[in-house]
Structure 1
Amino acid sequence: MNVLITPVSVADVDSLVALARQVWQRTYPGIISQEQIDYMLAQRYGRDRLLAELEDPGIWWDKATVDGCLAAFSSCIAVAGGSEMKLDKLYVDPLRQHGGIGGRLIEEVERHARAADCRTLILAVNKRNEPAIAAYRRYGFVVRDSVCVDIGHGFVMDDFIMSKSLPPAAASL
């Protein structure tokens, strides 16, 4: 399998929106309500929002393609005054999961983090998304905190904050 990791472009936005919907519809029923799924997709994956984020130099978006077809994508942003990089989004086509593509995108996020002098990589994951939690553990993440965040319209994100310490860039060579 030939996986290519490249930055996301404006031309990719519609494909990202479709892949996000596909992953959410496969992952979140039974974890959160369909109403919350629809609300969060509209809030976080509207075309205009993604286009705006692509223009923001402080947000990195990458995609993984296999044989020229979108297989996964990620985004990350420096937080905590620049000392941490947040893996904000990581979605892999359900038909391509368990093949290491997510891990390749995590490695790319780690490169962005080191380039930005971030010492820690963090992410938020729903407490009931056990497959994702297990996958993040395999890549060295540990649960750092437990949060419940009101996101409006009567919905909350009941998440674990997971973190992974990053060695300095020179130590990673």
Structure 2
Amino acid sequence: MIIKAKEKDIPTIQDLAKKSWIVAYADILKQDQIDYMLDMMYSEEALKKHFENPNFHYYLIREENQFLGFVGFEFHQEPETTKLHRIYFLKEAQGKGLGKEVLEFVKNEAKKNGNRRLILTVNKNNSAQKFYEYQGFKIYEEKILDVGNGYVMDDYLMELPIS
């Protein structure tokens, strides 16, 4: 089940981010960079700013009574473009088809809002890149992003046309 998140759900998003990042980035980033980025990207202040932005949306993914993941995306990040900022699942949720289901949901939401393109960034060493390619995303640029505090992310920028 995909449920629209509200500001009151910030602690749930933070908890899911922390648990899912341990799995997603354990073999890619050092723990101090993971801690820094979690603090920067998922602080209460940062998340509140997203909730104040009418184009930024968070949804929680729940199965039975357990939250298994979340997605955060922003309409009109560029003309006719929705940016998928975050899509993370707990380890026990992987392999259940939830990622594909959530991507379909985001594509439909983007289309309803007049967007014709979905973009994202993914670390070059993140196995999720293969999942995105399987879903039809193509790499359109490579970029080393300075995330502050002396840390960088070596990423692919990927896109998917929405018809």
- Map 1:130-169 to 2 at 5 A: 130=127, 132-167=128-163
Match status 1:49 vs 2:55: no
After the TM superposition, list the runs of 4 or more consecutive aligned residues in structure 1 that deviate by more than 2 angstroms: none
The AA in structure 2 aligned to 1:45 is Y
| SS of equivalent residue, structure 1 residue 140 | coil
For 2:136 and 2:27, the matched residues in 1 are separated by 27
Deviation at 1:141, TM superposition (A): 0.9
The count of corresponding residues between Structure 1 and Structure 2 is: 162
Query: Any unmatched runs of 5+ in structure 1?
Result: 168-173
Normalised by the size of structure 1, how large is the TM-score?
A: 0.89
Q: Which residue matches 1:79? A: 77
Q: Which residue matches 1:10? A: 7
The AA in structure 2 aligned to 1:54 is F
- Identity among equivalent positions (%) equals 30
What do residues 60-96 of structure 1 show as CA deviations (whole Å, max 9, x unaligned)?
A: 111111003211110111212x321110000011101
| SS of equivalent residue, structure 2 residue 95 | coil
The AA in structure 2 aligned to 1:111 is N
| SS of equivalent residue, structure 1 residue 111 | helix
| SS of equivalent residue, structure 2 residue 72 | strand
Q: Which residue matches 1:36? A: 33
Q: 1:103 aligns with which of 100, 103, 118?
A: 100
Q: Which residue matches 1:170? A: none
